[in-house]
Amino acid sequence: MVRRVGAAAVLLLAAILWPPRVGEPDRAEAVAIAVVRAIISGELAHASLNEGYFDTLQCLESGSCAPGPPHHGAFLARDFQERYFAPTSGQHGYRFEFHDGPKPVPQRDRRVSPSAMTSFAVVAIPLSPQLQHFQHAT
């Protein structure tokens, strides 16, 4: 009898701790929004220091793509792409895509990164059918 009660208590504890709790919001959408916001913030910070141009995620991670002597720190964490854009990064509930925009028209008085762009797009694609009913545009 004591063994059954002990086993039932362990199973009950496992049922309480591991599956998502009823009524608790799914954190995948919050993570996706945070990833998109981090990219936008990094791009805006980079653009404010680099003639108003955006750049690739590689450039934002390294912080050393902009020509000229003043190198600023990285605008994204060094492992950002690895965490959120690698083929195996689907554990966050979304697959992320970054799309480069058009290159700027070269001007003689401006020194810009060779990978600079005038716009960009970030897409968060839900991997779960339960998440696909939410569609947000930012």
Say what the pLDDT of residue 11 is: 39
Q: Which pLDDT band holds residue 1 (cuts at 50, 70, 90)? A: very low
pLDDT in tens, 61-76: 988 776 665 667 889 9
| Residue 37 to residues 8, 29, 119, 133, Cα–Cα distance (Å) | 45, 12, 15, 21
List CB contacts of 16: < 8 A, sequence separation 6 or more.
none
Across residues 6-26, what is the average pLDDT? 46
| Residue 23 to residues 19, 51, 69, 78, Cα–Cα distance (Å) | 12, 47, 53, 35
Say what the pLDDT of residue 96 is: 92
* pLDDT higher than 60, residue 138: no
Q: Which pLDDT band holds residue 87 (cuts at 50, 70, 90)? A: confident
46-60, 64-78, 96-110: which range is least confident on average?
Answer: 64-78
On whether the CB atoms of residues 32 and 97 are closer than 8 A, the answer is no
Residue with tokens 């895509």: 97
Across residues 32-45, what is the average pLDDT? 94
Ranges of H-type helices in 1-138? 2-17, 28-49, 57-62, 80-84
9-23, 24-38, 42-56: which range is least confident on average?
Answer: 9-23
* pLDDT higher than 90, residue 3: no
